[in-house]
Homo-oligomer: A and B are copies of this chain.
Amino acid sequence: MTTPVPVGIIGAGRIAQIHAKALAHLIPSANPIAIADINLDAARQLASELGIEHAYDDHRQILKNPAIEAVIICSSTDTHAPFMIQAAEAGKHIFCEKPISINLGLIDEALDVVKQHGVKLQIGFHKRFDKGYRDARQLIESGAYGEPRILNLTSRDPAPPSLDYLKGSGGIFLDMTIHDFDMVRYLMGCEVEEVYAVGGVMVDPKIGSYANDIDTTIITLKFENGAIGTINNCRQSEYGYDQRVEWFGSKGSIQVENEKTSTLVTSNNDGISSAKPPYFFLERYMDAYQAELEAFIQMLLDDSEPEVTGLDGRMPVVIGLAAWKSYREGRPVKLSEIDG
């Protein structure tokens, strides 16, 4: 058996806990040996629960530890780019949660440093590791369903996050649609050329007045391969987390439907009823969160290329900025206007 890869985890919040548990218990090829969080108690508690040796209040203690080969950056979004830079400079391989930044300049700077130091980088677009989307991409690439014509994505959350979170999030296109922007690139296998965004505040007026954001949107997409598509987002869905894909090509269609929380079907005078989708992303994508880390560790062991590259981290931000420009100016916007 291969020696497990020693990793350090930066952050001890919700997503950090998921990653840490997977690394500690479910991925034998990984060996998490330290957790750092500015909240030392949080780091200590997580380390203790999972039998992880070190708990720090400063991520630089992880970077200084020569035993650690790779870091998992799952601290707050504003720290992603600076920590990525420091980690690259320290010669650590990097798994970084999305988005790298909502500032394109910072992204480019960070990706440059990563490149200079030759460390490996994987971005945390976990949906690419969901079995359904992977199967869909494989079928699309097989050509069995023909040339792509239309790609429609639906992503609706069960409930909006806090207004304060939204205020600092970069807004719906950079915080929520960003996953769909990644997914359309993943499934279409080419770049988006132009976007047109409509939408508004339909869930909670304070999302507009306080957070200066919108909560419901449709984005129309033109792809470089000539195909077209839509993304359908809402921050609130009464029936739970809605995560669907429809790819339509010249020889048929491929859909990823919602999972259901149970296979129970009840029938009575009112009709036939079945269960709702899983409540939210933690319930829906737990397997994908584990799979993306397994792929990251395996990539290090194999010295191969990451499945989600720095470019894959960068492009959804470009598309998100174009979407905001389109929404604000009420016209279609080419990506070249953002990233000329």
Contact = CB atoms under 8 A, between A and B. Distances in A.
Interface of A: 25-26, 28, 49, 51, 131-132, 135-136, 139, 145-147, 149-150, 152, 156, 196, 198-200, 202-203, 216-218, 220, 222, 226-230, 232, 234, 236-239, 248, 250-276, 330-332
Nearest to A254: B266
Given A272-B239, A331-B332, A252 B267 contact: yes
B255 A265 contact: yes
Contacts of A273: 270-274
Given A200-B228, A272-B276, A331-B332, A255 B248 contact: no
Contacts of A226: 200, 202
Contacts of A236: 250
Contacts of A269: 238-239, 251-252, 276
Contacts of A26: 25
Contacts of A268: 145, 238-239, 251-253
A150 B266 CA distance: 15
A275 to B, nearest CB: 6
6 contacts: A196-B198, A198-B228, A238-B253, A239-B269, A254-B265, A255-B265
A283 B272 CA distance: 18
Nearest to A268: B252
Given A139-B264, A150-B234, A254-B264, 19 more contacts: A25-B26, A132-B264, A135-B262, A135-B264, A149-B216, A150-B216, A156-B248, A200-B228, A234-B248, A238-B250, A238-B253, A254-B266, A256-B262, A256-B265, A257-B263, A271-B275, A331-B331, A331-B332, A332-B332
A263 B258 contact: yes
A33 to B, nearest CB: 15
A102 to B, nearest CB: 24
A271 B276 contact: yes
5 nearest A-B pairs in the assembled complex, by CB-CB distance? A252-B268, A239-B267, A257-B263, A25-B25, A255-B265
A304 B176 CA distance: 46
A330 to B, nearest CB: 6
Contacts of A203: 250
A132 B263 contact: yes
A15 to B, nearest CB: 20
The residue in A226, A238, A257 that gathers the most chain B C-beta atoms within 10 A of its C-beta is: A238
Contact of A256 (B152, B198, B239, B264): B264
Contacts of A261: 131
A287 to B, nearest CB: 11
Contact of A232 (B150, B238, B276): B150
A329 to B, nearest CB: 11
Contacts of A220: 196, 198, 218, 220, 230
